[in-house]
Copies of this chain bind each other. A is one copy, B any other.
Amino acid sequence: MTKPHACRGLWVPALTPFTADLAVDASRFISHCEWLLANGASGLAAFGTTSEANSLSSAERMALLDGLIEAGISPAALMPGTGCCALPETETLTRHAVDHGCAGVLLLPPFYYKGVSDDGLYAGIAQVIDRIADSRLRVYLYHIPPMAGVGFSLPLIERLVRDFPDTIAGLKDSSGDWSNTAAVIENFPNLAIFPGSEVFLLDGLRAGGAGCISATANINTAAIGALYQAYQDGDPGLDADQEKLTKIRRAAETQPMVPGLKAVIAHARSDPEWLTTRPPLVSLQSEAATNLTEALDALDFTWPS
């Protein structure tokens, strides 16, 4: 069993909207987060890859987190990403989240250097935990080798769990490799394991996973949340629902993920400002956006409101 207070369900790496001059649009961000929570999200894994968090300054990230809490969103529904390349910045963001009473933090390993040892990655995480030195800290390890270029091997997870049993609460697996997700679930039954895509939601739940943290939950929130809830309720016939989720995810994957999701929101809300990304991401061209919206319509997709 995962720990009693571990996060479970559908946690959404909320998209971060920008104005035309590439400033963070806090107002639209908070509205989007409120919409997610009102439409099937269990919580927000804000400031993830989908959130373009590494394209934000630490000050921008903390201001947005402050804004969510000032808007009345419960810290118990927040698992902000706080892992940076530099230990002092990771420490600052993590302490800020803990001071707010957030449910946890989603921690990237330090990701600039490649080919580093498990000893080095262990030290990167251990230093953060030791410096925060707060029993409220709950760490969810963020395993995303396709972007970070480094990740959490099974022996590294084991060592972290052994040395910080009360702090290491779970892991998000964005490897895209189900065999790795299955191995992590099997080896660490006390951790809350979140596949990084709803494609693996039902398989994950059946294996003992905690739910999912998925980019496409920004647009298909209710349906993904409903499948999670139906599984909890012992509902049969979920394979067909899973298949529909998977088809929508595959349609989204035909475009660069973040620009594509922003194009879907812009279309659904008739709000072209949502198209904007920060470099190095590039807004979807209108033809690609049209292809994507048509593909979703063909799948009987319920558009976000």
Contacts and interface: CB of A to CB of B under 8 A. Distances in A.
Secondary structure call for the A interface = loop
B147 A112 contact: yes
Interface stretch (A94-102, A114-122, A202-210, A292-300): A114-122
Interface stretch (A83-91, A179-187, A238-246): A83-91
Contacts of A278: 86-87
Contacts of A279: 87, 110, 120-121, 123-124, 127
Nearest to A111: B112
A109 B57 contact: no
A68 B124 CA distance: 28
A68 B265 CA distance: 48
Contacts of A92: 57
Interface in A22-60: 22, 49, 54-57, 59-60
Nearest to A146: B114
Interface string A136-170: 00000000001111100000000000000000000
B85 A119 contact: no
A278 B87 CA distance: 8
Nearest to A85: B54
A92 B60 CA distance: 13
B281 A89 contact: no
A54 B112 contact: yes
Contacts of A123: 279-280, 282
B120 A87 contact: no
